Copies of this chain bind each other. A is one copy, B any other.
Amino acid sequence: MKPAKLQAFTPLFYLVWSDDLLTQKEFSTLKEFINSLNVLSQEEKEYLLSKVDISNPPSRNELTQWKLDIEKSIQDKSSIKSIFDIAEALSGSDLDLTPIESDFIKLENDLGILGEEALQNFKTKADSFTANSHTTSNFDIQKITEFLDGKEAPIIKKVKSVISRPEFAYETSTDINVFRQTVYNWCKILADENLGNMAYPKEYGGGGNVEDYFAIMETLSYHDLSLVIKFGVQFGLWGMSVQSLGTEKHYAKYLKDIGSLKLPGCFAMTETHHGSNVKGLETTATYNHSDQTFTIHTPNKNAQKEYIGNAAVHGQMATVFAKLVIDDHDYGVNAFVVPLRDTDGNTVKGVTIGDCGHKMGLNGVDNGTISFDNVVIPKENMLDRFASVNDKGEFESPIPSDNRRFFTMLGTLVGGRIGIPRSALAAAKSGLTIAIRYSDQRRQFGPEGGSEVPILNYRMHQRRLLPHLAKTYAVHFALQYLTKRFLNKKEEEMQEIEALAAGMKSYSTWSTRDILQECREACGGKGYLSENRIDALKNDTEIYTTFEGDNTVLMQLVAKNRLSEFRKSFGEMGSLGIINYVYENAKTAITEKNPIATRRTDDEHLLDKEFHLQAFVHREKTILASAARRIKKLVDGGLEAYDAFNVVQHQMIDVAQAYLERIVLEQFQEAVKTIEDENSKQILTKLYQLYALSQIEKNKAWYLEDGYMEAVKTKAVRKIVNQLCWDIRPDAVALVNAFDIPESCLAAPIAV
C-alpha cells in the first residue's frame, strides 16, 4: 500500500478479503465508512475504496503481504487487544487515529468482527490452554486393576490367557455357518479348560464356584460376544435350568455332559406370541398315566418356541417350558427336558426346527424356532424340583399357586440377570478403551498457527466420553455388589435381590447401549469400520436390553417391588402410613430444602458425598411416594388397577431408575471408601464425583420442579461437571488401561 499512513487500514482489508463470512452488504458498510472519514483526502479515500472493490480483488500475493505486515507489527506486543490497536501500531506516527477511534470501533461492530478473535489470525504460534492438555499418569494403573478384579483376579487371569491364544483370533467370515462353527469350537476349548462347568456342583464334575462363573462370563466378554452368549446358553441357561429346576436324577444324568459340551442344549421358554408375558405360554405337556410319559405339543403356529439359542444347529436337548396338563386340567407352566436331535445331528421325530437367520448381531449364535408335534418323553424328564406327578398320576407341589410356582421357578434363574449386565459392562469397557485411546491420539483442528490438538482436549468430546467412563466404574462396583448379594442370599431377601438383579440388568445394558453409541460417533469414520470393533460391540449388545427380560418390562417389575415394599413398611401405621411418611419426608426435606442449601454452589458442598447421597435418596423417596399416592388416587377414583398402572407407567420407570441410581451411588461411595492406595483413591474420588454430579445434572429438571435445588445450583452443577471432565482428561487413558483388556481382544487398529 503506497501511502504509509494508510497502512492503518490494512487489517480491515485483510479481514474483509480473507473472512469467509462477509457479504456484499458488509462491503457497502465498509465503503460508507471510508467515505465518512474526514481526516482523509479525496485521493486517499479513492485509494482505499479501490481496495474494497468487489470486482477488483487484491492478488493473492498482496493478501499474503498484508498478513505478513500485520504479523510483524504485533509481534511481541501483548498490549494489542483489538483491530484498532493493530491499526495504530501499523500507522505509527504517520496518522493520528484518535479522531476516528470510535468510528473505527463502530465499524468493527457493524462487521461483526470480534477484535480479540480476529487477532488470533495474526498470532503465528498461539500458545493455547486447550492444546496443552495431555495424557499423564497420576496413579499406578495396576493398583486400580487389582482393586477392580479383587479376589477374582486368578480366574480373570486364566480366562484372559485362554482367549488370548491364537485359536481365538476373531472370525472374519461373514458366512454365518462358518461363524457359528467357530464359536462352537471356541466353546469346546473353554469346556475343555473346565470353565463351562464352573458353577455346577463338584459332585457332578463341576467347579462348585458360582462367583467364578460370573467372572468368567464377564471376562469372556472382552472377546467376541457371540461366544459369551453361546457359552451362556449352554452352561448358564441350559445347564442351570437343569440344576435349578431339576433334581438329583437329572444332575447325575446330564450335568457332566452339559459341562463338557458333549450334550449341547437349549433353554426354550419364549414363544412367538409370548415373549415378555411368559405366563401365557401355550405349549402343552400332557401327562399320560398309562405309559408314564408326557406328550409335548405346539398347539398352533404362534406357540412355536422362538429365538432359541443353540437350536438352529447344535442343540441336542432342550429345557422346554410348557403347560402341564393332567386329565384335561391345566397345572400351569412347568419345565421338561426334551430331545431335539440325535448325536449325528438329525432332528428327532415330531420336532421341527427353523432358523432365525441373520440377525443384527450375535451371528455366531444359532438361534432357531422349535415346534413339537406330539413328541413323547418319559416321565422322568420333568424337571421336578418344584412340582411333580406322583405315582398315582396326581399333580404335587409344595407351592399350590401355579402363578407363584412359576415365578419361584423363574426366580431360581436370576443368575442370568447377573451374567448379562456383567457382560454388558465388559463391552462398555472395551468400547471406552477404544474410543478414549483413539481420542487421545487423534488430532483435528488447532489454534491458528499451532499444531492440531487431540480431540479429547475438546470440552464437548470430554463431555461425550468421560461421564460414561465414570458411569462404567460405577456400574462395575454396583454389579460386584449385586453378585455378592446373590451369592449370600437368604430366603427372605430373594424378592429384593430379584428386583435388584432385574433393575441392574436394565441399568447396565441401557448404559452400554448409550456408551457404545457415543463411542461410535466419537471415533468418526474410523468408528464405522468393522476392524475397529465398535460395530460388533454395539450390534451384539443391542439385544441385551431385550433378552433375559425386556428392560422396560423389568423396570416395571422393579417399581412394583418398590411399591410393595413401601406399602409394607408403612402398613403398620395403617392407612395414615403414607401420609405420615410424606410428612416425615417433607420434614427432612425441609432442612435440605432451606434457601441456603437449595442455593449452595460452593465446590465444597457440591463435591460432598453427603450432599449427593441426600439428593439421590430424596429423589428416590419422593418419586416412590408420589407414584404410590397417584395410583391410590386413580384407583380410589374408580379406575381399574390395571389402567391405573398404565396411566403412571412413565412414573414407574422413574421409580425404578431413582432406586437404581441410589444403589449405584452408594456402591461407588463404598468402593472409594474401601480402596487403600492414596493415588488410586484420589482419582476414583474424582470419577465418583463425576458420576454423582452428572446424574444430578441429568435429573436437574426434577430437582428444580421439586424445589430441592434452585437454578443457581443446577447451573453450578453443570459447571463443575465440565471442570471434572477437564481435570480427569489427563488420566482418562490410564483409567481405561486399568480395565486391563487383552490387546488381542481389543484388536482395534485405532486403539493401539
Given A18-B401, A403-B18, A715-B705, A646-B408 contact (CB < 8 Å): no
Mark each residue of chain A from 99 to 136: 1 if its CB lies under 8 Å from any CB of chain B, else 0. Answer: 00000011011111110110110000011111000000
A636 to B81, CA, bound (A): 9
Among B60, B110, B707, point to the contact of A395 (Cβ < 8 A): B60
Q: Is A571 at the interface (CB under 8 A from chain B)?
A: yes
Chain B residues closer than 8 Å to A207, beta-carbon distance: none
Interface size in chain A (residues, C-beta < 8 A): 142
Chain B residues closer than 8 Å to A120, beta-carbon distance: 640-642
Looking across the interface, which residue of chain B has its beta carbon closest to that of A556?
A: B460
* Segment with Cβ contacts to B, from A238-246, A260-268, A353-361, A473-481: A353-361
Mark each residue of chain A from 418 to 438: 1 if its CB lies under 8 Å from any CB of chain B, else 0. Answer: 000000000000000000000
> Would you call A60 and B705 a contact (CB within 8 A)?
no
> Would you call A635 and B568 a contact (CB within 8 A)?
no
Given A114-B632, A545-B521, A20-B642 contact (CB < 8 Å): no
A17-39 contacts to B, CB under 8 A, are: 17-21, 23-26
Chain B residues closer than 8 Å to A185, beta-carbon distance: none
Chain B residues closer than 8 Å to A457, beta-carbon distance: 646
> Would you call A112 and B568 a contact (CB within 8 A)?
yes
Q: Is A543 at the interface (CB under 8 A from chain B)?
A: yes
Among B357, B445, B640, point to the contact of A277 (Cβ < 8 A): B445
Mark each residue of chain A from 44 to 77: 1 if its CB lies under 8 Å from any CB of chain B, else 0. Answer: 0000000000000111101100000000000000
A553 smallest CB distance to B (angstroms): 8
Given A109-B575, A120-B641, A543-B525, A711-B722 contact (CB < 8 Å): no
Given A59-B400, A360-B539, A570-B109 contact (CB < 8 Å): yes
Number of identical protomers: 2
Given A458-B646, A543-B525, A492-B23 contact (CB < 8 Å): yes
Chain B residues closer than 8 Å to A277, beta-carbon distance: 444-445, 452
Q: Is A577 at the interface (CB under 8 A from chain B)?
A: yes
> Would you call A571 and B60 a contact (CB within 8 A)?
no
Looking across the interface, which residue of chain B has its beta carbon closest to that of A726?
A: B647
A35 to B552, CA, bound (A): 42
A110 to B117, CA, bound (A): 69
Chain B residues closer than 8 Å to A127, beta-carbon distance: 640
Chain B residues closer than 8 Å to A564, beta-carbon distance: 21, 112
* Segment with Cβ contacts to B, from A196-204, A528-536, A658-666, A674-682: A528-536
Q: Is A574 at the interface (CB under 8 A from chain B)?
A: yes
Mark each residue of chain A from 488 to 509: 1 if its CB lies under 8 Å from any CB of chain B, else 0. Answer: 0001101100000000000000
Looking across the interface, which residue of chain B has its beta carbon closest to that of A66?
A: B400
Chain B residues closer than 8 Å to A395, beta-carbon distance: 60
Q: Is A448 at the interface (CB under 8 A from chain B)?
A: yes
Q: Is A287 at the interface (CB under 8 A from chain B)?
A: no
> Would you call A528 and B445 a contact (CB within 8 A)?
no
A23 to B490, CA, bound (A): 11
Chain B residues closer than 8 Å to A700, beta-carbon distance: 701, 705
A573 smallest CB distance to B (angstroms): 8
> Would you call A109 and B571 a contact (CB within 8 A)?
yes
Looking across the interface, which residue of chain B has its beta carbon closest to that of A114?
A: B567
Among B119, B399, B546, B640, point to the contact of A524 (Cβ < 8 A): B546
A627 smallest CB distance to B (angstroms): 12
A643 to B521, CA, bound (A): 23
Q: With a 10 A CB-CB cut-off, give which of A129, A356, A492, A704 has the most chain B CB atoms.
A: A704
Chain B residues closer than 8 Å to A276, beta-carbon distance: 444-445, 524
Chain B residues closer than 8 Å to A188, beta-carbon distance: none
Q: Is A250 at the interface (CB under 8 A from chain B)?
A: no
Residue pairs across A and B with Cβ atoms less than 8 A apart, 29 shown, are A20-B407, A60-B401, A63-B400, A106-B571, A108-B571, A109-B575, A111-B571, A112-B568, A114-B635, A120-B641, A129-B639, A129-B640, A174-B175, A175-B175, A270-B525, A277-B452, A359-B535, A360-B520, A360-B534, A360-B538, A447-B640, A459-B649, A517-B517, A524-B546, A525-B547, A700-B701, A700-B705, A704-B704, A705-B711
Besides the known contacts A174-B176, A528-B546, 15 further A-B residue pairs in the complex with CB atoms under 8 A apart: A18-B400, A20-B407, A20-B408, A59-B400, A114-B567, A116-B635, A127-B640, A174-B174, A175-B175, A356-B529, A461-B552, A527-B546, A528-B542, A539-B539, A647-B722
Nearest 3 CB-CB pairs, A to B? Answer: A109-B571, A110-B571, A112-B568
